[in-house]
Amino acid sequence: MPENTTNAADSVYTNPEWWLDKVVEYGTSLIIAIAILVIGFWLVKKVGKMIANLFAKKDFDPSLETFLLSTIKITLKILVVITAMSQLGIEMTSFVALLGAAGLAIGMAFSGTLSNLAGGVMILFFKPYKVGDFIEAQGEKGTVKELQIFNTILITLDNKTVIIPNGPMANGNLTNYSTQTKRRVDFTVGIAYGDDYDTAKNTLLEFVKDDPKIMDKEDNFIGLVALADSSVNLTLRVWCKSEDYWDVFFKMNERIYKEFGSKGLNIPFPQMDVHVKND
């Protein structure tokens, strides 16, 4: 019985028709797999161009466009390769499971990096700030020089480069000083008890009227905000263009210091009387 089985197997392997059938079978699968790769990669290229044209029409952010295009192309190419390998009869279940396990391990190892990647995508999509904006975040203030996938690059007022990961930037509090065309500048001005309040108020109004960078002069406000321990405090609130904020701030403080004295107004400072008793 075993001898007959061996002879039957040998006769199969030596049968030219059997080999021809196998060559045709596997050759057909190989040709189909190659066709899937060629046509699939061609379609991926076409889809990439279509998406790029769509992004161009919608005026997408260049950084976001590059990231999305590369991600979509890589994903589609992986699907094409898996489809071609399946056509060759290669069992892909174990491969996909292995790929998933490897992806999970890599994701756990690079959890912080992936968090920054997700933060970068969120920032690029929702655009809470853009290159050139002056922002405050994570304890830092500066102008956005570069918006990368993983990090945001700031240039501070004293010309330092600050690199902040995008994860905290996307999830933390952020102040963007550049989104509005105008800003309010607030001052607290103290005068001594006994100084004339109306003189102080009219002097500040004169300063406001003389400054061409102060906007909407009728919307500005001057009022008495506090009767403090050592001073009577006035508040002054004026509006200007965002880019003129610091010019208005410094010029107003300079005029207050230089000219209040000539108006008979005193800028008080804390004082302490010490009485020494000799026994």
DSSP string, the chain: -HHHHHHHHHHHHT-HHHHHHHHHHHHHHHHHHHHHHHHHHHHHHHHHHHHHHHHHHHT--HHHHHHHHHHHHHHHHHHHHHHHHHHTT---HHHHHHHHHHHHHHHHHTHHHHHHHHHHHHHHHH-SS-TT-EEEETTEEEEEEEE-SSEEEEE-TTS-EEEEEHHHHHHS-EEESSSSSEEEEEEEEEE-TTS-HHHHHHHHHHHHHH-TTEE-GGG-EEEEEEE-SS-EEEEEEEEEEGGGHHHHHHHHHHHHHHHTGGGT---------------
Tell me which amino acid residue 41 is: F
- Sign of torsion over alpha carbons 135, 138, 139, 144: negative
Tokens read off for 147: 């918006």
Residue 170's pLDDT is what?
Answer: 87
Q: How many residues does the chain have?
A: 279
All residues at 6 or more sequence positions from 113 whose CB lies less than 8 Å from its CB, including other chains:
150
Q: How many CA atoms lie within 13 A of 2 on its CB side?
A: 0
pLDDT string in tens for the chain (279-residue length): 455 555 555 555 566 665 666 666 677 778 888 888 888 889 888 888 888 887 777 666 665 666 677 778 888 888 888 888 877 776 666 666 666 766 666 565 555 667 787 888 888 788 888 888 999 998 999 999 888 778 889 999 899 999 999 888 888 899 999 889 899 999 999 999 999 999 999 999 999 999 999 997 777 899 999 998 889 999 999 999 988 999 999 999 999 999 999 999 998 877 666 778 887
Tokens 């919307």: give the residue: 219
**Contacts of residue 37, Cβ cutoff 8 Å, sequence gap at least 6:** 80, 81, 84
At 91 the pLDDT is 66
Point out which residues pair with 182 in neighbouring strands: 241
User: What is residue 69's predicted lDDT score, i.e. its pLDDT?
Assistant: 75
User: Residue 12's pLDDT is what?
Assistant: 54
Q: How far apart are CA 17 and CA 12, in angstroms?
A: 9
Contact between residue 76 and residue 44 where contact means Cβ atoms under 8 Å apart: yes
What is the separation of C-alpha 90 from the centre of its chain, rounded to a whole number of angstroms? 43
Q: Does the pTM exceed 0.75? A: no
| Cα–Cα nearest to 160, from 136, 135, 177, 143 | 143
Question: Which pLDDT score is estimated for 112?
Answer: 62
